[in-house]
Amino acid sequence: MLCADQNFDIAQVIRFFRSKPGELIIYYELEEGERSSSRGIVEVCPETHRITRFLEKPEEGRTASRLASVVFYCLRRDTLSCMSNFLSLYTRATERTFGLFWEWLINEKKLDVFGMKLPTGFQLIGQVGLSDYTKWLTHYSTKKQDNSAQPITCRSYARVGLMGNPSDGFNGKTIAMTISNFWAEVTLVESQTLVTCLPHPLNDPTEFGSLQDLFCISRREGYLGGLRLLQATCKKFYQFCSKRGIALTKQNFTLKYDTNIPRQVNKYFPLSLYHHSAIVSATLKCLMKFYNITDNDLPKSIRANFILSVETDELFITAGLQDRVVQVYEGLVYMDFSKKLMDEQGYGNYASMDMSDLPPFWLAYLSDPSDSGRIHSNIRQRWLSGEPVVVEAMKTFAELTDQARDWTRLAQLMDQNFELRRSIYTDDCLGPGNLRMVQLARQFGSAVKLPGSGGAVVGLCPDQVRLVEMRQAFQEAGCVFCVISPYIPSARGQN
């Protein structure tokens, strides 16, 4: 018999079983202190979820796997005939155990058996009595009462692209950094009956003081708040776990969000700081904590792909991987999206960079931004068709990124990054607002470039006197200006 600390979604398990051409074993990760010699241990292929080996109560050191069967099996009718073959081969009573049967099926018969992970603890496997059940039910009931009232709050930070963008969407290389000036925060609280996504009072308004108020708010904030991001993330999370063989516990919750990341809404695209990926990232963090999903279940490299898929597949937002990667890894990140890497492993190579000697960066953005949705123009079509000037430009962005790992050359390279982007996108596509901010920054001798898809500029100005003068000039021009405060993961107080 077995007892889990949470009920799991049996319907999800059945759907997963039906989707696989073989048998099913439910497993979990051994808790600290549990010995593998007390359980049936499975080794699972992370890509196919196929169980490659089953070891019934192995001696310590025989396998590195900490994944244990919970004595929950799904067999197909045709497989039951194997039982008589097993019994004819193993005649002693000590050999006729279900664990050894599975070991024989998987290791010797090479039967296709798939595994589904439960992100929860299990106890009471074997011969137990009523007192054992009472003890563990009391333990888990107390544990649930202690944890249910504790909200889970996670924060993800805005990012600025320092070098190489927009080549992240074109098999290039980039360097980007999370900043603590702007963030999105999501809070999850367990609820007893429903899964609820609460609208934000400012970003998802449903009531207005007048028709004029509706007009002004809709013009400024647009129609696409963060509520859809919460819902799309939850939907994609359930779908991901189902496909990846992770059975979720049957728990309901309420989600709400807050953000101070500026938005651009004229044509359904956000400002360069990317508020939508930050909300999705923070929501995913909450769901992972709530359902006890580990980095092994959802590695950081795959997590970035997940966040992008929420935006592109569910919400049809045009985006690249850079922003999602840096918001997952946090800090200062070097990213290589070369075609060979993306084709072979499905993600790029990502490396955290030293932040101890960062130069002083600043950020400015339009208080009433123009349309940044045009910023990608027809570049993708031109790149896909192999137009030489575009293909070479993306390669040059990657080369600039490699050179930018030397901070002494960064200012010059930032200017080169912008001019290269300007040459292939053209001034009409970049828009007058972005060009005015670049020109204004250069009047004060500052290096400057676009940190994202438009509506903001990031710069480097070591001269503090000129920096103060430049701030005033930007503010007089109707822009919002701030000195960047880098978000350093090792110094964080919360996720």
Cα 354–Cα 359–Cα 364 angle in degrees, nearest 5: 120
Residues 370-380 as b/e (b if ≥16 CB within 10 A, e otherwise) read bbbbbbbeebe
Distance in angstroms (rounded) separating the CA atoms of residues 313 and 305:
11
Both tokens of 416, joined, read 């080169």
CB 36 within 8 A of CB 58: yes
Q: Are 27 and 71 contacting, i.e. CB atoms less than 8 angstroms apart?
A: no
Burial of 335 (0-12, 13-18, 19+ CB in 10 A): buried
- Residue 173 backbone dihedrals phi, psi, to 5 degrees: -135, 145
Alpha-carbon dihedral angle through residues 103, 107, 112, 118, given to the nearest 10 degrees: 50
Query: Two tokens at 316?
Result: 């049809």
Q: Which residue from 344, 358, 363 is spatially nearest to 160, judged by alpha carbons?
A: 363
Residue 118 dihedral angles phi and psi, to the nearest 5°: -105, 120
Catalytic residue selected from 297, 323, 336, 415: 323
* Catalytic residue flag (residue 323): yes
Nearest-angstrom CA–CA distance, 166 and 421? 8
Cite the active site residues.
Answer: 323
